[in-house]
Amino acid sequence: MIRLLATLGGVLAALIAVKVVLANAKAEGLAECQASYQAAAIEAERANARTAILKLERNQEINDALRKRAEAESVRAASAARELDRVRLAIAAVTGSASSPASAPSGADAATLGRLLAEGAELVEEGRGRVERLAAQVVGLQDYAVKVCRSF
C-alpha cells in the first residue's frame, strides 16, 4: 500500500509539473501575441502618420499651384485692364482730336473701334471672374488643409 501511495504521489507530482509547464507555455505564448499585436499597432500608427504627412504635402502642393495660378490670372487681368485703358485712351484721342471732318474716323473705323473696345471689356471681366474663382478655391483649399492638419 505504501508503494501504491508512493506511485500515486509520483504521478500526482508529474501531473502538477506538466500543469505548471503548460501554464508557463501559455503565459509565454500570450506575451508573444501581445508583443506582436503592439508592434503591429505601432507600425499601423506610423503608416497612418506617413500617409497623413503625404496628404498634407500634396495639399500644400495643390495650394501652391492654385496660388501661383491665381497670381498669374491676376497679372493677366491687370494686363488686360491696362490694355483696355490704352485702347480707350487711343479711341478718345482719335475721336477727341478730330478738329476737322477730314481727320475724323469714318463710320466703319468707329464701329471697329467700338467693337474692339467692347471685346476688350469682355475679356477684362472674364479675367476678373477667373481671378475671383481661383482666389476662392485657394482659400477653400487652405481651410481644408488647416482642418486636415488639426485632425491629426
C-alpha cell recorded at residue 48: 497612418
The H-or-E segment that residue 40 falls in is: helix 2-96
The H-or-E segment that residue 118 falls in is: helix 107-151
Number of domains the chain contains: 1
Distance of CA 133 to the CA centre of its chain: 17
At 100, the pLDDT band (50, 70, 90 cuts) reads very low
CA torsion 80→83→87→92, rounded to 10°?
A: 110
**Dihedral (CA of 126, 132, 138, 143) sign:** negative
Higher pLDDT, 152 or 26: 26
Domain boundaries, position 68: 2-151
Q: Identify the CA nearest to 90 among candidates 109, 76, 72.
A: 109
Tell me how long the chain is: 152
The model's pLDDT over 37-72, given as tens digits with 9 standing for 90+, comes to: 999 999 999 999 999 899 888 888 888 888 888 888
Q: Identify the CA nearest to 84 among candidates 125, 40, 36.
A: 125
Please provide the average confidence, as pLDDT, over all residues in the chain: 81
pLDDT reported for residue 43? 94
At 74, the pLDDT band (50, 70, 90 cuts) reads confident
Highest mean pLDDT among 7-21, 46-60, 81-95, 97-111: 46-60
pLDDT (mean) for 114-119: 80
61 CB-contact burial (10 Å; exposed 0-12 / middle 13-18 / buried 19+):
exposed
